[in-house]
Structures are given as C-alpha cells and as structure tokens.
C-alpha cells in the first residue's frame, strides 16, 4: 500500500510539474497570444488529480535543436536598395567588439570567433561575383595584435583577388586594431563624433605575489629556461624581463606606424595646446609624410581623436555616416544609386539592417568581480587596443 501511494504521489508531482511548465510558457508569450503546449510520448497518470481554476492554452510551441551542432553557411541578405537591380551589390561587413582569435559564448550571443567569422565573409565575397564593393563597418576599440593582423591580411587578399573598392566606415569607436584595419581600405569615412586613433600597443601584466601570499599560496615552479615564466603574475618582473617585452611592444608599434605612414597622408599638429582645443593649425598640404617623427609625434603616441580632428591631420578622408560610406563605395565601383546593399549573415542571425549586428562578446563572469591576472590564460598578449575601460584589462571576459 505504501508503494502504491508513493507512486501515485510521484505521478501527481510529475503532472503538476508539467502544468507549471505549460503555464510558464503561456505567461512568457503574453496574454494576448496564448499558446498550446504539445507534449508527445506516453504518459501514465494514476490516482486522484485536481487542478483548480481555468486553464486555456491555444497556439503551438515548437522547439527544434540541431543535433550536429553546426552553424548554417553565410548567406547574402538584401537590406537596402533595389533588390531586382541588375547592377552589382555592395556588401556591408561589420567588425564589432573586441578583436580576439577565440570563440565567445554566453547569453544572447552567437558564440562566434570574430576572426573565423570575418574570414568566412571574406571568402564568400571572393566567390560571389555579384558583389562589386565592400564597406567595412568598424566599431571596435581594437584587440589582439595577431588577430588584427589576420583580419588585415584577409582584406589585402580580397583586394588582390577581386580588385574591388573597399571603404571603411568608423562608427562610435575606430581605435587600435580597428583603425589598423581601416588603413587597409581605399577610403576611410568617420562620423564627426567618432573616436579615432589609438595607434599604440599594450600588454597587461600584473604582480600578484603579495596577494597570493596573503592566502598562503606560494608558487613553486619547476622550469628549464630562466625566462619561461616571463610575465607571470606569480612573481615580480625583473628589469631585464621588462626590457625583453618592451622590445617586442616597440616592434609591433613600429609595424602599426609603418602601415599608417604608408597608406595615409598625415599632417602633424604643431603644438600640444592646439591639439587640446580641436582648432588645429596645421602645416601645409604639401608636407612630406615621411618627415613625421614617431618618437615625438602625438599622432603615434596612442592618443585618440574626434572624427573631425582625424580629418584635419589626415587619419581619415572625410566625415560622414554609414550611408555616405555606402554611396562612396558604390560610386567607386560604378554602380547605380539604388544598388542593392547586402549583409553577410547566418540564417539564425537576427540582423536585418546595416546597423543591426548580432552581438559577439565575451561571457560576463558570474563572480561579482574579476581579479586582474587570475584569468590571464584567457587574455590576448600584445594588444592594438584603446583601453579606457577596466573590462578591457582582462580582454577576454
């Protein structure tokens, strides 16, 4: 008897659980669009069961999960212009968020690797003869030196393969690696209020030896090679070790500077006072870009500029908006004014306009705070990154 009663009790709890799930689905769907939950399979319910009140569920809920866990291929989706136009199309490719060569995951994200996704889009454009121009919609403070360089190489490969115009449009932020990518375009357009520049390199390193000691955590490394733990947060960094990393940072910085000087016609702001006022008294238009001294030039010290300032000193070609960048790309490709504008996205991507980007961002920690250095294994190393926010210190979540 006790066994039968226990089974009936468990069945009652199971039924009540199913009812609660149905009610939850109905409440999340809104009162004006009630749903009907369809439960498949065999259900054996015994004993007395009672439900108080009225339950009315209409509609249908269907959930489909991909068993092979594979992403859908990139497709071209027309978001503007004349869809039936016979002229070529303009592809808008976004570079959004932190540029890091690793997968991101978390709630409300696509869980994509930004580098892999960008390459897939570039390959799609290479194989799609209907795409006659590309607009890079850049909105990023930068990212890893190597990840940025990979994206830049993909842009150079596309231009060599297809010989189509590429226009960069800097949105809210086009700094560090974002600006590095822009210099590989044929023209750069920035919003008047964009933040541009950040031509510098940073490596975040910490000394947590005393902090670990407070918890009686002592590092006991067994190593072969005196510098194998160079930059470890478990101990203080020696001056000779810092010199080693500084040489590396300087080389990456020189690579960035060389790219900017090779592709841009820069004009040096003459004084610090004029830089701060946004009323720049500049040298003549015929100034030789090679005369800029990277050691003393404020252009190369990592600072940022407004879009208007960036035009004055030659970092960008003009100020405007995304629509202006699309028009410029179309004109450079000889397309009609109503040429179709396409996004390259997956079938489960909700982006339906040039400004709508499915988020790709690091997962936020479940802990109330992040301890700098503890997640160092997830960090990029050297960064082309404008770093005003604490979360960029860890640069990975």
266-292 tens-digit pLDDT: 987 755 544 444 444 344 444 444 456
Q: Determine if residue 44 is left, alpha or beta; phi over 0 gives left, psi from -120 to 50 gives alpha, anything else beta.
A: beta
Residues 16 and 164 grouped into a single domain: no
pTM for this prediction: 0.73
Q: Average per-residue pLDDT in the chain?
A: 77
So what's the pLDDT on residue 394?
57
For residue 216, is it within any domain? Answer: no
Residues 9 and 119 grouped into a single domain: no
Answer with the residue of higher pLDDT: 134 or 84. 134
So what's the pLDDT on residue 236?
87
Highest-pLDDT range among 112-116, 158-162, 289-293, 360-364:
158-162
For residue 227, is it within any domain? Answer: no
Beta-carbon contacts of 374 under 8 Å, excluding residues fewer than 6 positions away, are 208, 233
Residues 48 and 181 grouped into a single domain: no
**Using one digit for the tens of pLDDT, what is the confidence trace for 18-34?**
555 455 544 444 444 44
Q: Which of 17, 40, 63 is the last residue of a domain?
A: 63
Q: Which of 63, 89, 112 is the last residue of a domain?
A: 63
**How deeply is 342 buried, as exposed, middle or buried, from its count of CB atoms within 10 A (0-12, 13-18, 19+)?**
buried
R_g over Cα of the chain: 28
Phi, psi of 86 (to 5 degrees): -90, -5
Number of folded domains that form the chain: 2
For residue 210, is it within any domain? Answer: no
Q: Which of 9, 42, 63 is the last residue of a domain?
A: 63
Residues 18 and 131 grouped into a single domain: no
Q: What is the 3-state secondary structure (H, E, C) of the chain?
A: CHHHHHHHHHHHHHHHHHHHHHHHHHHHHCCCCCCCCCCCCCCCCCCCCCCCCCCCCCCCCCCCCCCCCCCCCCEEEEEECCCCCCCCEEEEEEEECCECCCCCCCCCCCCCCHHHHHHHHHHHHHHCCCEEEEEEEEEECEEEHHHHHHHHHHHHHHHHHHCCCEEEEEEEEEECHHHHHHCCCCEEEECCCCEEECCCCECCCCCCHHHHHHCCCCCCCCCCCCCCCCCCCCCCCCHHHHHHHHHHHHHHHHHHHHHHHHHCCCCCCCCHHHHHHCCCCCCCCCCCHHHCCCCCCHHHCCCEEEHHHHHHHCCCCEECCHHHHHHHHHHHCCCCCCCCEEEEECCCCCCCCCCCCCCCCCCCCCCCCCCCCCCHHHCCCCEEECCCCCHHHHCCC
**Using one digit for the tens of pLDDT, what is the confidence trace for 286-328?**
444 445 677 678 999 999 999 999 999 999 999 999 999 999 9
C-alpha span between 123 and 120 (Å, rounded): 5
Residues 15 and 149 grouped into a single domain: no
So what's the pLDDT on residue 274?
42
Mean pLDDT, rounded, for 151-156:
97
Does position 38 have pLDDT exceeding 90, yes or no? no
Q: Which of 61-75, 249-263, 288-302, 367-381 has the weakest average pLDDT? A: 367-381
190 pLDDT band, cuts 50/70/90, is very high
**Using one digit for the tens of pLDDT, what is the confidence trace for 81-119?**
888 777 899 999 999 888 988 876 555 555 678 899 999
Beta-carbon contacts of 305 under 8 Å, excluding residues fewer than 6 positions away, are 195, 196, 197, 313, 315
Mean pLDDT, rounded, for 376-382:
64
For residue 68, is it within any domain? Answer: no
For residue 56, is it within any domain? Answer: yes
Residues 155 and 52 grouped into a single domain: no
So what's the pLDDT on residue 84?
79
For residue 341, is it within any domain? Answer: yes
So what's the pLDDT on residue 295?
66
Domain of residue 388, CATH code: 3.90.226.10
For the chain, what percent of residues have pLDDT higher than 90? 44
Q: How far is C-alpha 299 from the chain's CA centre?
A: 25
For residue 238, is it within any domain? Answer: yes
Please give the residue range of the domain that contains residue 6. 1-63
Does position 384 have pLDDT exceeding 80, yes or no? yes
């Amino acid at each position: 008897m006790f066994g039968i009663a226990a089974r009936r009790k468990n069945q009652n709890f199971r039924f009540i659980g199913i009812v609660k799930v149905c009610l939850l689905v109905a409440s999340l769907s809104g009162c004006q669009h009630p749903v009907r939950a369809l439960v498949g399979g065999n259900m054996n319910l015994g004993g007395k069961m009672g439900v108080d009140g009225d339950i009315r569920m209409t509609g249908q809920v269907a959930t489909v999960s991909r068993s092979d866990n594979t992403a859908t291929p990139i497709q071209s989706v027309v978001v503007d212009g004349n869809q039936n136009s016979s002229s070529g199309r303009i592809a808008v490719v976004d570079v959004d968020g932190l540029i890091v060569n690793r997968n991101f995951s978390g709630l409300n994200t696509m869980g994509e690797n930004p580098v892999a996704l960008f390459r897939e889009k570039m390959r799609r454009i290479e194989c799609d003869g209907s795409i006659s121009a590309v607009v890079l919609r850049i909105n990023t403070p930068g990212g890893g030196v190597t990840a940025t360089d990979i994206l830049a190489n993909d842009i150079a490969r596309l231009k060599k393969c297809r010989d189509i115009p590429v226009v960069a449009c800097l949105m809210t932020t086009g700094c560090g690696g974002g600006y590095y990518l822009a210099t590989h375009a044929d023209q750069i357009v920035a919003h008047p209020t964009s933040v541009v520049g950040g031509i510098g390199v940073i490596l975040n390193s910490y000394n947590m030896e005393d902090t670990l000691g407070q918890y009686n955590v002592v590092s006991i490394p067994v190593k072969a090679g005196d510098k194998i733990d160079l930059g470890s947060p478990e101990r203080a960094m020696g001056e000779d070790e810092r010199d080693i990393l500084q040489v590396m940072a300087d080389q990456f910085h020189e690579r960035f500077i060389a790219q900017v000087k090779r592709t841009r016609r820069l004009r040096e702001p003459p004084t610090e006072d004029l830089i701060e006022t946004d009323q720049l008294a500049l040298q003549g238009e015929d100034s030789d870009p090679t005369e800029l001294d990277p050691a003393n030039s404020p252009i190369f010290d990592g600072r940022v500029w407004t879009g208007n300032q960036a035009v004055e000193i030659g970092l960008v070609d003009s100020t405007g908006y995304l629509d202006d960048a699309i028009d410029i790309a179309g004109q450079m490709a000889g397309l009609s004014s109503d040429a179709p504008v396409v996004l390259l996205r997956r079938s489960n991507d909700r982006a339906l306009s040039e400004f709508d980007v499915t988020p790709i961002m690091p997962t936020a920690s479940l802990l109330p705070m992040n301890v700098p250095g503890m997640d160092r294994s997830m960090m990029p190393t050297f960064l082309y990154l404008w770093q005003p926010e604490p979360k960029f210190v860890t640069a990975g979540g």
